[in-house]
Structure formats: C-alpha cells, structure tokens
Amino acid sequence: MSLIKSLSQRDRVFDFMAPAESPVDVRHGPILYMEDVTVSFDGFKAINDLSLTVDDGELRCIIGPNGAGKTTMMDIITGKTRPDQGQVWFGTRHNLLTMNEPEIATLGIGRKFQKPTVFEALSVFENLELAMTADKRVLPTLFARLDGPARERIDEVLEMTGLAEQRRRPAGVLSHGQKQWLEIGMLLMQRPRLLLVDEPVAGMTEQEMERTAELLTGLAGKQSVVVVEHDMGFVRSIARKVTVLHQGSVLAEGSMDEVQNDPRVIEVYLGESEEAA
Amino acid sequence: MWLTQPFNERSTQLFLGVLLAAMTLVTLLHLVVPAGHPLHVNAYTVNLFGKYLSYALLAVAVDLVWGYLGILSLGHGAFFALGGYAMGMYLMRQIGDRGVYGHPELPDFMVFLNWESLPWYWQGFDMAWFAFIMVLLAPGALALVFGFLAFRSRVTGVYLSIITQALTFALMLAFFRNEMGFGGNNGLTDFRDILGYNLRSDATRLGLFLATGVALAVGYVVCRAIVGSKLGRVCVATRDAEARTRFIGYRVERFQLFVFVVSAMLAGLAGALYVPQVGIINPSEFSPIFSIEIVLWVALGGRATLYGAVIGAILVNYAKTVFTGVMPDAWLFALGAMFVLVTVFLPKGVAGLLAYRFKRRRNDADAQEVTP
Amino acid sequence: MRNFPWPWPTLAEAGRCRAQWWARRWLQALLAGLLALLMLILPPAIAHAQDAERDTAALELLEALDVDSFPAKGEAIDAIVASEDDRARYWLQSLLDGRLQRADDGRFVVVLDNTGRDWPVEDALNGEALGEMSRRELDRIGINNALRNQLRSAIAVVDLYAADLELRRASAERLLGEVDSELAEPIAAVIDEEADSRVRQRLTLALAIHRLEQGEVEAVETLQGSLHSRVRVALNRAASSDDPLLAAAAQEAVNSIEQNLRINRGLETLYFGLSLGSVLVLAAIGLAITFGVMGVINMAHGELIMLGAYTTWAMQQLLPGQPGLALILAIPAGFMVAALAGIAIERGVIQFLKGRPLETLLATFGISLILQQLVRTAISPQNRTVVTPEWMSGSLVVNDALSLTLNRMYVLGFTLVVFAALMLIMRRTRLGLEVRAVTQNRAMARSMGIRATRVDIMTFALGSGVAGLAGVALSQLTNVGPNLGQNYIIDSFMVVVFGGVGNLWGTLVAGLSLGVINQILEPWAGAVLAKIIVLVFIILFIQKRPRGLFPQKGRAAEG
C-alpha cells in the first residue's frame, strides 16, 4: 500500500520540482538507512555487513572500540569512501552512493571531523560565512555579497558558540576547544538535516562538555544527530539510543542501560579494556 | 561592482600607484631627458623593462593558483608560450611577402619545408582581433581540458606539480617538431610590425612597454578582485583543507578549474606581450626549467600576496640580466642558491619581510594574508 | 758487501791493476760482439738461400699479372690462388686496392700511402721498406670491374684456408650471394674440411643461393628458415622467376621467412623496450624510495644519477687501461658518492622542509641547478667518454635477424639485481622494517625507540645511492654530461607515479612496460612523438587512477 503511495507521489512531484529547502523525503521512514554495507581495505573488512537506521529528529550515539569502523562509516555516509556493496539512502529519495561530497553536503548532511578542521588562514567570521547555506556554485560565489539577514545569522551563531570576540581573528590561532566550537558553529550554519559528529568533546573542559551536551540535545528533534564518542560519561549524559559497533558491524543497540548490561558488549569492552588501559 | 572592490584596498592602491609612477618615470626619462644624459633611459632599457613587466604578469598568474589555491603548477610556462605563439603567428602573418622567400602568404619556414599552403590552424591569424582572442583562448582551452581531467580525479599536491611538468615537457617536444607547423627548433621570429607599427622603432617599444604595464595593472586588479571575493576565500579554504571544503558543500574541482583557467589566460596574455618585445618565440619557453623558475620568482617575492610576485619577478630577472652580463657561469649557481635559501630561510619571501615591518600598523582584518 | 758478486773490482783493486783490467775487458767485449754479429748474419743467409727458389716462383706469378689482357690477368689471379703462397692474400688485396705496382727497375712494390707526391713503398715479395719512390717511377697494374669481383671472391676463398677462425668466418659471411660458378667448386671442397659449424653453415647457404640462381628448386629447401638478408634477396628474386615451380617454392619460403622475421623483430622490440625500461626502472627506483616511501620530492635525483656516471668516468681516469676493473669498482664508488651527496642534501636542506613537499621540490631543484653547474665548471660542459670494457661490448647473436647487444643485457641484469637487493633490504632487514614503521606512523615509531632522524638519513642515502648505481649503468649506454640527470628526472617521476607511489613492484612493472610501449610506438610514430604519446598517456592515466597501477589502499593512504 505504502509502495503504491510513494510511486504515485513520485509521479506528481518530480525530483527537480521538489522544494529546495527540504528535499529529503522522510515521510515513509528513517532519515538515514544503511543496509548490508561492506568495505574492505586490502582484504581487511573495515565495515562488515553493517545495517543501521536513524530516525528523523533522533539523537543517536555510536560507540565501539578502536577500529570498530566508526569513522569509516561516516566516510561512507558523506561520500568520501565508496562501499564495496550495500545501500545507503538519505530519506527515501536520495541514494547517497551515487553522489559526491558536495552534493551530499548540499543535501543536508553536515560532518564534524574527529580532528577539528577549520580554515586556519581565514577569520572565524569567514569560516562561518563559507559554511552558510547559499548558492555554492562558482560564479554566484564569485559575485556573492553578504546581506543583512546573513550577517545576523552569523552573529547569532557566533554568540551561540561563544566566539563573538574572536570573530576577526584567524581560526588558526584559536585554542583546541575553540576550534571544536567553531566547527560545530560551521555545522550550524549549514542547517543540515543530519549532523554527523565525530568525537565532539575531545580536548574540552568539563564545562565546555556540558555546553556541548546542551547544544546537541537542543538540536535533536529539529535535526537528526549522530554522535561518535569515546567518553562514556558524555554519551550517558546525552544518549537516548546507543549503537555499539564491533569489527565493522552492529553488536548491540538500545538504551545506554540495556547496552551496558549486554553480555557481548561487556565481553568486547572487557577483552579490550586491558589494552585500552 | 565586483571589479571595483580592490580599489578600496590600501595594498592595491599602493601597488597601482607605484606601477603608474614607475611607468611615468620611465616614459619621461626616455622621451624628455636627452640621449647621452646619465639619467636617460634608452630604447633598449625600455624594452627590457617591458619584458620584466610581462614576466611580472606571468608571476601574478602563477601566484593566483599557487598562493591562493595551493596548486603548484610547474607548467605555467606552457600557457605563457601558447599565448606567445598565438601572438607570434599574428606577427608572422604580418610579415606578408617581405620574408626571405617573398611568399605572399606562407611564412619563410613553411616555404623552406616545401609546404604548399597554410595549415588550417594558421587561418585567421592575419586578423589582429582573432589572434588576440586566441592569445586568451588557446591557453585557456588547454587549462580547461587539463584542469578538468586533473581536478575531477582529485590529482593534487605534488602529483599535480609533476604532471603539469610532464605537460609542458610534452608540449616542448611537440613544438620542437617541424611537422607541427610552428617553426620547429627556431620558432617564430623576424617579426616586422604589429598593428601597422614598426616593431623596431623606439616609439613602438615604448608603446609595448606601456601596454604591458596596463595589462599588469588590469591583471593585478582582476586577481585581487577574485582573491577578495567569497570565491577567493573558498580557494584559501580549499588550499588549507580541501576535504573540509567539500563537506560544507563546495564543488572544489570547479573552483579550482575556474581559477586555473583564469590564471592560464593571464599567463597567455603575458606571453603575448612578451613576444613582440623580445622578437622571438621558440619551444624553449616550454622548458620545465623556465616554469620552475617562474615559481621561484613568486616564492622569492612572497606567496599569496600578488604584489610579492611582481617584486620577485622583477628582482630575479634584474639579477639575471646583471649576472649574465658580468659572469654568465655564476648565474646558475646564484639561481640554485636562491631556490634553496628562499625556501629554507625566507618562506614568506620579500613580501613577508615587508609585511613584518608594517605589522604593527596592520589590524586583524588583514588576517587573510597570513600564510600557513 | 765484499761477499757480494760485484762485477768490477773494488776501488782498492782498481788502483793497482786498472789498465790490465780494461784491456782484458775490451777483448772479451770484442769477441762477444763479433760472435753476435755472425749469429745475426748467418741464419738469414741460410734462409735466404732456401727462399730464393720460392721468390722466383712468386716473381713469376706476379709477372703474369703485368700483362695488358684482362682475361690473362684473370688467369694469373687464379694461379696465385692455386699457388697457396702465404703472401697470396696480401698480393690480391693490394691489387684490388690498386696499390700493387711495378717499379721501373722491374721490382714489384706495394704503395703504402699514395696521398703525397712521393710514395712510401715496400717490396711486394718480402715486405721490406724501400723508402719513397716518385710517382713516375711506378707503373700501376690496372684491373677492371670483372677482375675486381674475381679478386673479392678470390680473397674470400684464400681466407677460407686461413688458420684464423675469425678470418674464415668473415670470409664465409662475405661470400653469401657472391658465389658464382667458378667459386662454387672450391667452396664445395672446403665445406667438408671445415671444422667450424658456423663457417660450414654459411658456406652451405652461399652455395645454395648460387644453386638457386641456377634455377635449382631443391636449393629452396636449404635456404628455408634462414633469416639472412642476402638469402631473402635471392629468394625474392627467384620468386619472380619464369619457372613457376621455382617461383612458387621460393615465394613460400619468403613468406615463412617474413613471418619468422616479424617474430624476431617483435622480440627485438621487446628487448629494446625492456632495456629502455630497465634504464627507467634504475633511474626511478631510487625515487621510489625517497619519494614513494619517505614522501620527499628530490628534484636533484637526476643529478645524483649524473654523479654516479661521473664517478665511473673518474674511476676510469684513475685506472687507465683497465676500463673493466674501473667499471666494477665504480659500482660501490658510485653508490657511495651519490649516497654521501644525498646525505648532504638531506641534512643540509630537506630536513628543514619536513612536511612542506612543494617547498622541498623547489629547494632540491635549486640544488640540481647548482650540481649541474658545478660539474660544468669543475670538469667540463662537454660530454665525457666512458669506455665500455671489452666483455661488455659486442652482441649476442641469436640468429641472423636478432642480435642482442651485450651492454644492454648487462644493464638489464644489473637492474634486476639492484631491484632484488632493494626488495630484500626493505622486506627483510631491520632498516626496512624501521623505514616502514617511520613512514606509517612517525610519532609511534619514535616512541618505540626508533631513531626517526637516523632512519630518514639512511633511507635517503639508500635512495640516493641507488641513483648513483643508475648513473654507473647509464654511463655504459649514453653520453656522460652535465645534462644527463635532467633528461631522466621527468621520466623517473612519471614511472614512480604511474606505478603507484610507495610500491617498488609498481615501479618495476611501470618502468618496464613504459619502456616497451615506447619502443613499440617508435617505429610507427617516431621517437619524439612516441615520447609525447607516452607522456600524454600517463597524464591521462593518472587522472583515471590517481594512485597509479598498484595503489596503496586504506586509511593510511588517505594521508
């Protein structure tokens, strides 16, 4: 029944006529859908038969020991790495495997890297300006001028991330924590439907961590957020649903308590814990 | 308007001011001060300055891609030479029947090779407007095709440098062949006049010098406008963190392509102005060494400043003129030493030294000129 | 001192009986001298008597040449050949060259040099130098074209009886396609007595060509399978003969030979391709280490190759007359010189530019300019000659259509040895392990006690040393000059990039295949165009597969 509906839907609304603001169709399912994805590097399977779904507006935490494939998973979603097999859909309409990074980004998937990457030679303000949703083709970019509302939005994010005083300084001189914030700020400027956040609190103080938790939980609902994190305390403070990755596939999924009591998870973490310590 | 933006910048105002002053000074010293007076600038020197200015424009073009886009092109000599050849072909056609063999249409070397008629790609070069368009189009088209392939497959960094070098090397070999129809080893030479003016007259030389100065000014302003725009900031972003730039939604390869083509066209323009002033264009302009030398000018002057490239080009070429006159053997030693010393001890070039002196007066708003 | 057998008296003795001693000495010397003189004169005198008879016969033979009729001269030539005189070849050759002349006094002489006004001559009978004679005193024994051909054949036949194997071989080679009815008989007689199989085979072919020319169809069978160009010419001629049977047989033989030739030509192209490829590999393999493994762009790599080549030259200057020994010693010496230069470059410049590959490229390019100019100033801007030792010159003849030059074969073998050695070092030694560790994770390697700086130096020295080895090998194939390195640098980078950076196997495969591709294209497109095509091909290839033929995969490769 729903299949027929979606087909008729497609007949009526052509892809190119879809509203630019929200091209993602999430009426019939999750915002992110991965099925049987496998990637191998020189025979080593970094991702092995991974299936994962993230609902619209959800805040999902992904944990797992080193080498579990967390970063590779993000690479696949953002188009940096192509899987050997499997499917990755954004909403029901967009097959991410056929798109490149900028297309995926424009579609509304934002990513924060494990190591904070900001444009060090540009000022904080310019970093945010570049990230802002706009016509990102070549000539429009060449002739682009900042209008009032755009400036307001940048100011708004500067306030939100506590970087207002640093706006004119080159991003390269910021502290590690400030760079993390700037990167989150750039994500906010993109207004993504789905945020992929890789280890957001590494190098942050206790206080900054609290603010980050606040920000991320605040975003959830309007936007979907996927957080990869090692810091269990932080995960506990924000997580509603947790997915445990191990050796490239999903080991367990559920609330933090359920996951922590799962015997397989305990085994993996205890087995690894000696090494990790 | 977008192009007028640079005129608000102090550095552009200063640059244009100095350039205008220099051009006026040279003109006055040439025309007003009588020959024989120690301050008189003779036609030969005017010609030399004109050559320096075309090199400066070339250096600006290289700085645009290397300084702001992070693409170290070791093949910009190819674009310069292509522009030069386009101009050379026009000048060849202007010779008409005054060549050694007196053929009304064919250049001497074609008569010598027993060619019957003009090859198709020589058609149209008797018309100045067509030739001048080709000066921009030929290098632009090469840059477009090459850049499209290279940037699409994300060939960057050292790899790109090496294949740009291979590109210019391949072109050099190709242009050395007589069968290409560009005069082979000897290239194109024995030009007589341009737009009806005798190339050997002092007035034409002064005119070419001034035209090159104007071209440099225009090229500088265009580059400045690009660099100062949001597109310029995307370039810098690409240079420093290419993957990140993609993830915020920019099709990096298109930006790279755009700037690369603009730069190639400017290089072609520089080549076109260079050829009538030196009176010859031959395949040696394609040599990989020349292309690397251009990069040295930029490195010495200071990367990612544009005016630094101009300073570097003029300094190195002035040094070359002096050295090759006094002790030709020492020039390559000096050039080699410059490469080493500049990269190791002067990573920001002369412009970096200048900037350091004025640092106190600068405010944080100029932050975009900081190189990593 | 006293016990030492001193040939003359001590000073004290000399004071007493000096005069006496001198007189005795004089007599002894005189006697010995006379005796010696006798010994010198007597044996030749005896020999002379024996030779007199021979010389009379010889004079008769030569006299027969000095007639006006050409047919008579022809008979005289035959007589000389039949005489089996060991001077026969000398006479015939002189006659052929127009240097056998008769002096006014009736003696036969051979003119040694006929450029000046007076010509130095020697006696045709005993080779005695007779000083210079005026042109007017001499009378040339003239020959015509028919005689010239006869002479050539005659000389060849005479050579067939020579004791020297090389002479016999050369002669047999010359006879191919030159045999006429008169020669056929003596040749047929020689074949059975000939010990050397090669000479026998050549003579058989020569006879068969003759028989083919006479219209014998059976001769085709003998000629079949030979790849010699003369055979092909003869068969082609026979293929258009009037005799349909002969024409058909010959045509068939020609076809099969053509087929065979194509295969051999293919093999030759392959050989030259592999040889060119081995040079590319040798030049590039050092880069594969410094660029591929360490990520350092060394534009002065070509000049390190040049240093290796100049080391070979210098070794040969130090050991004059022993080019082979010098070449062998140049292998370790070239390695050391280039490695030390490499270390100097690494310590002096590259270490300050870590993590700035583009700046490294520029700085090392500067170094390459300096090194080139240094060689130009200190040695010479001209090319230097490096001698190829005897055991490396010449070629290995597989068959008539395929001969493989030995120097290229040595270089090919040398390349494979160097490659194998490098593989061993990288895979099996502590250094190789440390290099790989430092490459993959510098900080981690350091924390495990690996001295990364030392590893850098060692790796760079190794890569540079291999460049030196390449130079030693190249000195045997090309000119040694200041531009030697420059000519290889772009090609070397292309090979490394084409093969996949960081992969030694890739470099080997890429180098060899590029060499072969180049050689295949060359006859079809010309040398320059072939090179252009290869360059364009690589440029396009890199755009299709930016990481080369054998890319490194995985997260580490993303850098």
- Per-residue model confidence as pLDDT tens digits over A141-199: 888 888 888 899 999 889 888 888 988 999 999 888 888 889 888 988 888 889 898 88
Query: Among the CATH numbers 3.30.230.80, 3.50.50.60, 2.40.10.10, 3.40.50.300, which is that of A56-276?
Result: 3.40.50.300
Q: Compute how many other C-beta atoms are within 10 angstroms of the C-beta atom of residue C242.
A: 7
More confident residue, C377 or B372: C377
Q: How far is A272 from chain B (nearest CA, A)?
A: 32
Q: Looking at residue A10, what is its pLDDT? A: 42
**Confidence check: pLDDT of B371 > 70:** no
Strand partners, A34: A52, A88
Taking residues C535-549, report their average pLDDT.
81
**Confidence check: pLDDT of C183 > 80:** no
Q: Encode pLDDT of C132-156 as tens digits.
A: 888 778 888 888 888 887 887 788 7
Distance, CA of A158 to CA of A181 (rounded, Å): 10
Q: Looking at residue C112, what is its pLDDT? A: 81
User: Do the beta carbons of residue A123 and residue B367 sit within 8 Å?
Assistant: yes
User: Do the beta carbons of residue B89 and residue B125 sit within 8 Å?
Assistant: yes
Chain A residues closer than 8 Å to C444 by CB: none
Q: Looking at residue C50, what is its pLDDT? A: 63
Fill in the amino acid letter for C170.
A
Taking all residues of chain B, what is their mean pLDDT, rounded to a whole number?
90
Q: Cβ A42–C555 below 8 Å, yes or no? A: no
Distance, CA of A140 to CA of A134 (rounded, Å): 9
Taking all residues of chain C, what is their mean pLDDT, rounded to a whole number?
82
Q: Looking at residue A277, what is its pLDDT? A: 33
**Confidence check: pLDDT of B14 > 60:** yes
User: Do the beta carbons of residue B339 and residue C353 sit within 8 Å?
Assistant: no
Fill in the amino acid letter for B169.
F
Taking residues B19-47, report their average pLDDT.
91
**Confidence check: pLDDT of C555 > 90:** no
Chain C residues closer than 8 Å to A41 by CB: 553-555
Chain A residues closer than 8 Å to B367 by CB: 121-123, 168-170
Distance, CA of B313 to CA of B301 (rounded, Å): 7
Q: Cβ C554–A72 below 8 Å, yes or no? A: no
A117: its two tokens: 């990457």
Q: What is the band of B359 on the pLDDT scale with cuts at 50, 70, 90?
A: low
- For residue A51, the SS3 value is strand
C1: its two tokens: 């001192």
Q: Encode pLDDT of B96-155 as tens digits.
A: 888 888 888 889 899 888 898 899 999 999 999 999 999 999 999 999 999 998 898 888
Q: Looking at residue C395, what is its pLDDT? A: 82
C132: its two tokens: 């210079």
- Chain A to chain C, count of Cβ pairs less than 8 Å apart? 9
Q: Is C353 in the B-facing interface, judged by CB distances under 8 Å?
A: yes
Q: Looking at residue A178, what is its pLDDT? A: 85
Q: Is C553 in the A-facing interface, judged by CB distances under 8 Å?
A: yes
Q: Looking at residue C558, what is its pLDDT? A: 38
Strand partners, A254: A242
Q: Compute how many other C-beta atoms are within 10 angstroms of the C-beta atom of residue C456.
A: 20
Where does CATH 2.30.30 sit in chain C? 62-145
Q: Encode pLDDT of B164-197 as tens digits.
A: 998 999 999 999 998 888 999 899 998 998 998 9
Q: Cβ C555–A72 below 8 Å, yes or no? A: yes
**Confidence check: pLDDT of C19 > 70:** no
Chain C residues closer than 8 Å to A72 by CB: 555
Q: In what order do the strands lie in the sheet with A224-228?
A: A109-112, A194-198, A224-228, A59-63, A241-246, A249-254
Q: Encode pLDDT of B234-283 as tens digits.
A: 999 999 888 889 888 899 999 999 999 999 999 999 999 999 999 999 99
More confident residue, B233 or C143: B233
Distance, CA of A47 to CA of A69 (rounded, Å): 6
Q: What angle do CA C147, C148, C153 make, to 5 degrees?
A: 95
Q: Which chain A residues in 51-70 lie under 8 Å from chain C, judged by CB atoms?
A: none
Q: Cβ A120–B372 below 8 Å, yes or no? A: yes
Chain B residues closer than 8 Å to A121 by CB: 236, 239-240, 367-368, 370-372
Taking residues A107-136, report their average pLDDT.
88
Q: What is the band of C15 on the pLDDT scale with cuts at 50, 70, 90?
A: very low
Q: What is the DSSP letter of A129?
A: H
Q: Note the helical H segments in C319-405.
A: 323-348, 357-378
- Chain A to chain B, count of Cβ pairs less than 8 Å apart? 105
| Chain B interface disruption, residue of C294, C298, C358, most B CBs within 10 A | C358
Q: What is the band of C100 on the pLDDT scale with cuts at 50, 70, 90?
A: confident
- For residue C103, the SS3 value is strand
Q: What is the band of A271 on the pLDDT scale with cuts at 50, 70, 90?
A: low
Q: How far is A67 from chain C (nearest CA, A)?
A: 11
Q: Encode pLDDT of A194-234 as tens digits.
A: 989 888 887 778 888 888 888 888 888 778 889 988 788 88
Distance, CA of B87 to CA of B78 (rounded, Å): 14
**Confidence check: pLDDT of A18 > 60:** no
Domain residue spans of chain A: 56-276
Closest Cα to residue C339, out of C291, C292, C376, C290?
A: C290
User: Do the beta carbons of residue B91 and residue B291 sit within 8 Å?
Assistant: no
Q: Looking at residue B219, what is its pLDDT? A: 96
Q: Encode pLDDT of C310-346 as tens digits.
A: 999 999 999 988 888 999 999 999 999 999 999 999 9
Which residue on chain C is closest to B165 by alpha carbon?
A: C490
Q: Looking at residue A13, what is its pLDDT? A: 40
Q: Looking at residue C511, what is its pLDDT? A: 93
Distance, CA of C531 to CA of A12 (rounded, Å): 57
Burial of C44 (0-12, 13-18, 19+ CB in 10 A): exposed
User: Do the beta carbons of residue A168 and residue A125 sit within 8 Å?
Assistant: yes
Distance, CA of B138 to CA of B83 (rounded, Å): 7
| Chain A interface disruption, residue of B5, B153, B248, most A CBs within 10 A | B248
**Confidence check: pLDDT of B31 > 70:** yes
Strand partners, A252: A244
Q: What is the band of C42 on the pLDDT scale with cuts at 50, 70, 90?
A: low
Q: Which of C362, C493, C540 sits opposite B343 (nearest CB)?
A: C362
Q: Looking at residue C494, what is its pLDDT? A: 87
The residue whose two tokens read 């030779």 is: C51
Q: Which of B166, B333, B344 sits opposite C363 (nearest CB)?
A: B344
Taking residues C195-203, report their average pLDDT.
81
**Is the dihedral angle over the CA atoms B313, B316, B321, B322 positive or is it negative?**
positive
Q: Encode pLDDT of C429-452 as tens digits.
A: 888 888 888 877 778 888 888 888
Chain B residues closer than 8 Å to A190 by CB: 248-249
Where does CATH 1.10.3470 sit in chain C? 264-380+405-558
Which residue on chain C is closest to B149 by alpha carbon?
A: C543
Q: Is A72 in the C-facing interface, judged by CB distances under 8 Å?
A: yes
- Chain B to chain C, count of Cβ pairs less than 8 Å apart? 117
Please, which chains are in contact with B (at least 3 CB pairs closer than 8 A)?
Answer: A, C
Percent of chain A whose pLDDT exceeds 70: 87
Fill in the amino acid letter for C129.
A
Which residue on chain C is closest to B151 by alpha carbon?
A: C543
**Confidence check: pLDDT of C96 > 90:** no
User: Do the beta carbons of residue B101 and residue B112 sit within 8 Å?
Assistant: yes
Q: What angle do CA B82, B88, B92 make, to 5 degrees?
A: 145
- For residue C131, the SS3 value is strand
Q: Looking at residue B105, what is its pLDDT? A: 85
More confident residue, C182 or C56: C56
Distance, CA of C300 to CA of C290 (rounded, Å): 11
Percent of chain B whose pLDDT exceeds 70: 96
Percent of chain C whose pLDDT exceeds 90: 22
The CATH number that domain C62-145 falls under is 2.30.30
**Confidence check: pLDDT of C3 > 80:** no
Q: Is A117 in the C-facing interface, judged by CB distances under 8 Å?
A: no
Distance, CA of B24 to CA of B219 (rounded, Å): 19
User: Do the beta carbons of residue B212 and residue B266 sit within 8 Å?
Assistant: no
Determine how β-strand C118-123 pairs with β-strand C138-140: unpaired
Q: Looking at residue B143, what is its pLDDT? A: 96
Distance, CA of B269 to CA of C131 (rounded, Å): 76
Q: Which of A42, A71, A72 sits opposite C553 (nearest CB)?
A: A42
Q: Looking at residue B328, what is its pLDDT? A: 84
The CATH number that domain C264-380+405-558 falls under is 1.10.3470
Q: Looking at residue A111, what is its pLDDT? A: 87
Q: What is the band of C557 on the pLDDT scale with cuts at 50, 70, 90?
A: very low
Q: Compute how many other C-beta atoms are within 10 angstroms of the C-beta atom of residue A29.
A: 16
Q: Looking at residue C545, what is its pLDDT? A: 80
Q: Which of A100, A113, A141 sits opposite B230 (nearest CB)?
A: A141
Measured in degrees and rounded to the nearest 5, phi and psi for residue A61 equal -105, 140
Q: Looking at residue A232, what is its pLDDT? A: 80
**Confidence check: pLDDT of C387 > 60:** yes
Determine how β-strand A59-63 pairs with β-strand A224-228: parallel
Q: Encode pLDDT of C216-258 as tens digits.
A: 777 777 777 777 878 888 888 877 877 888 888 888 888 888 8
Chain A residues closer than 8 Å to B240 by CB: 119-121
Looking at domain B5-369, does it have CATH number 1.10.1760?
no
Chain C residues closer than 8 Å to A101 by CB: none
Strand partners, A94: A90
Q: Encode pLDDT of C248-307 as tens digits.
A: 888 888 888 888 888 988 898 899 999 989 989 998 999 888 887 777 889 999 999 999
Chain C residues closer than 8 Å to B173 by CB: 528, 531-532, 535
Q: Looking at residue A199, what is its pLDDT? A: 84
**Confidence check: pLDDT of B339 > 80:** yes
- What residues contact C389, with CB distance under 8 A and at least 6 apart? C323, C324, C327
Taking residues A85-105, report their average pLDDT.
87
Q: Compute how many other C-beta atoms are within 10 angstroms of the C-beta atom of residue A79.
A: 23
Please, which chains are in contact with C (at least 3 CB pairs closer than 8 A)?
Answer: A, B
Q: Looking at residue B56, what is its pLDDT? A: 97
Q: Looking at residue C45, what is its pLDDT? A: 57
Chain B residues closer than 8 Å to A129 by CB: 230, 233
H/E element, A45: strand A44-54
Q: Encode pLDDT of C471-526 as tens digits.
A: 999 999 888 999 888 888 888 888 988 888 778 898 999 999 999 998 888 888 88
Q: What is the DSSP letter of B327?
A: -
Q: What is the band of A12 on the pLDDT scale with cuts at 50, 70, 90?
A: very low
Q: Looking at residue A1, what is its pLDDT? A: 44
Mark out chain B residues that contact chain A at CB-CB < 8 A.
2, 226, 229-231, 233-234, 236-237, 239-241, 243-252, 254-255, 258, 364-365, 367-368, 370-372
B306: its two tokens: 């544009």
Q: Looking at residue C106, what is its pLDDT? A: 78
More confident residue, B140 or C200: B140
Closest Cα to residue C480, out of C279, C277, C311, C337?
A: C311
C243: its two tokens: 């005799």
Q: Cβ C497–B176 below 8 Å, yes or no? A: no
What ipTM, to 2 d.p.?
0.88
